[in-house]
């Protein structure tokens, strides 16, 4: 049973890492595989009541691999940790089959209470480098977490999450034909949720401006224009102001000088002048 699980783990590394040249290389040189073997040994003692011994074995595994997996965690088959340095997996974390995570990933808790406090990753999940998945949340099957994302809420199946806090940028239908996705991110240009929100707001503002222009044009007896189709006016004083337009863009001072304002109001010259 142990050797069968070890063989499956080695096969998963060979299938998902193009840098792996041979099974012997994976067995000797991949810290993720070493950490997984150490975890299974520590977990065997932990689940049979030898808690201190399980934690001690886990501590030695952390020292030699830089990967910390609590012996109380639950990990499925063909779990792949790529590079691995800085990975932290908490006590009540649950990981399904064929899950892949990269270096710097944290499956952490956000509560001091006992019981379930770490995330659950269903089958086929990919978590990119530096991502933080926090709390007793569930990342459904086939979901992908982009590098450095911070996930605080449940993730639907098959979607891609990026950002802080993580937002969905690609649904399941957009990636059903895709194969393996390194670091949890697609190769094509990734849509930016913030940019899409700004574009939507701009479209709404343009629509309001067009409606207002049509009302003003009807009152003034002129043809309506399209304010959003016009080039934005360049503010005077910028480096892009042309010489022939700078004068027209300069705001005129109301009333000119103090003396001109006094004359215009019917008064005499300002004090001190004759």
Domain ranges of the chain: 2-191, 196-230, 238-274
**What pLDDT score was predicted for residue 220?**
83
Please tell me which residue, 21 or 247, carries the higher pLDDT value: 21
Instruction: Name which of 2, 144, 13, 158 is nearest 78 in CA terms.
Output: 13
Confidence bin at 131 (pLDDT 50/70/90): very high
- Cα–Cα distance measured from residue 207 to residue 201, given in angstroms and rounded to the nearest whole number: 10
Distance of CA 163 to the CA centre of its chain: 2
Lowest-confidence segment of 35-44, 98-107, 133-142, 247-256 by average pLDDT: 247-256
pLDDT at residue 273 greater than cutoff 50: no
Q: Which residues contact 6 (CB under 8 A, 6 or more apart)?
A: 37
Confidence bin at 60 (pLDDT 50/70/90): very high
pLDDT at residue 29 greater than cutoff 70: yes
Q: What is the pTM of this model?
A: 0.64
pLDDT at residue 184 greater than cutoff 60: no
Q: What is the mean pLDDT of the chain?
A: 79
Please tell me which residue, 212 or 265, carries the higher pLDDT value: 212
Helices in the chain by DSSP H: which ranges?
2-16, 23-29, 31-46, 51-65, 193-220, 243-249, 258-264
**What pLDDT score was predicted for residue 183?**
55
- Cα–Cα distance measured from residue 8 to residue 6, given in angstroms and rounded to the nearest whole number: 5
Number of other CB atoms surrounding residue 152 within 10 Å: 14
Q: Locate 129 and state its tokens.
A: 């480098």
Length of the chain: 274
**What pLDDT score was predicted for residue 250?**
45
Task: Give the SS3 label for residue 175.
Answer: helix
**CATH (one of 3.90.1150.10, 2.160.10.10, 3.40.50.970, 3.30.70.20) for 2-191:** 2.160.10.10
pLDDT at residue 255 greater than cutoff 60: no
Confidence bin at 34 (pLDDT 50/70/90): very high
Lowest-confidence segment of 6-20, 54-68, 133-147, 166-180 by average pLDDT: 166-180
Instruction: Name which of 148, 168, 167, 146 is nearest 159 in CA terms.
Output: 168
**What pLDDT score was predicted for residue 50?**
92
Confidence bin at 227 (pLDDT 50/70/90): low
Lowest-confidence segment of 5-9, 39-43, 131-135 by average pLDDT: 5-9
Lowest-confidence segment of 6-10, 149-153, 194-198 by average pLDDT: 194-198
Most confident of 46-60, 209-223, 231-245: 46-60
Lowest-confidence segment of 88-92, 110-114, 239-243 by average pLDDT: 239-243
pLDDT over 90 for what percent of the chain? 37
pLDDT at residue 9 greater than cutoff 60: yes
Please compute the mean of the pLDDT values over residues 172-199 and round it to a whole number: 60
pLDDT at residue 267 greater than cutoff 60: no
- Cα–Cα distance measured from residue 90 to residue 46, given in angstroms and rounded to the nearest whole number: 14
76 phi, psi to nearest 5 deg:
-85, -160
256 phi, psi to nearest 5 deg:
70, -140
Q: Which residues contact 110 (CB under 8 A, 6 or more apart)?
A: 117, 134, 135, 152
Are 98 and 127 in contact, with CB atoms under 8 Å apart? no
CA dist 130 → 26, 164, 270 (Å): 23, 12, 70
């Amino acid at each position: 049973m142990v050797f069968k699980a070890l063989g499956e783990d080695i096969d998963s590394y060979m299938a998902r890492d193009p840098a792996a040249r041979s099974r012997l290389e994976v067995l000797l040189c991949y810290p993720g595989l070493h950490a997984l073997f150490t975890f299974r040994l520590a977990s065997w003692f932990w689940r049979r009541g030898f808690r201190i011994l399980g934690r001690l074995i886990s501590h030695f595994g952390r020292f030699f691999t830089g990967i910390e997996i609590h012996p109380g965690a639950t990990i499925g088959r063909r779990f792949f940790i790529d590079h691995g340095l800085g990975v932290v997996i908490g006590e009540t974390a649950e990981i399904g089959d064929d899950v892949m995570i990269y270096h710097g990933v944290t499956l952490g808790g956000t509560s001091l209470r006992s019981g379930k406090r770490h995330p659950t990753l269903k089958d086929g999940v990919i978590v990119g480098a530096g991502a933080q998945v926090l709390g007793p949340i569930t990342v459904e099957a086939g979901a992908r977490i982009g590098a450095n994302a911070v996930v605080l809420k449940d993730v639907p199946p098959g979607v891609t999450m990026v950002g802080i806090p993580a937002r969905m940028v690609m649904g399941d239908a957009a990636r059903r034909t895709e194969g393996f996705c390194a670091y949890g991110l697609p190769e094509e240009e990734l849509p930016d949720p913030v940019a899409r929100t700004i574009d939507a707001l701009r479209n709404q503002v343009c629509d309001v401006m067009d409606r207002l222009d049509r009302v003003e044009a009807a009152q003034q007896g002129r043809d309506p224009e399209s304010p959003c189709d016009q080039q934005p006016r360049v503010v005077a004083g910028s480096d892009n102001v042309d010489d022939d337009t700078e004068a027209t863009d300069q705001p005129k001072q109301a009333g000119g000088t103090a003396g001109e304002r006094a004359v215009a109001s019917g008064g005499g010259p300002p004090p001190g002048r004759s």
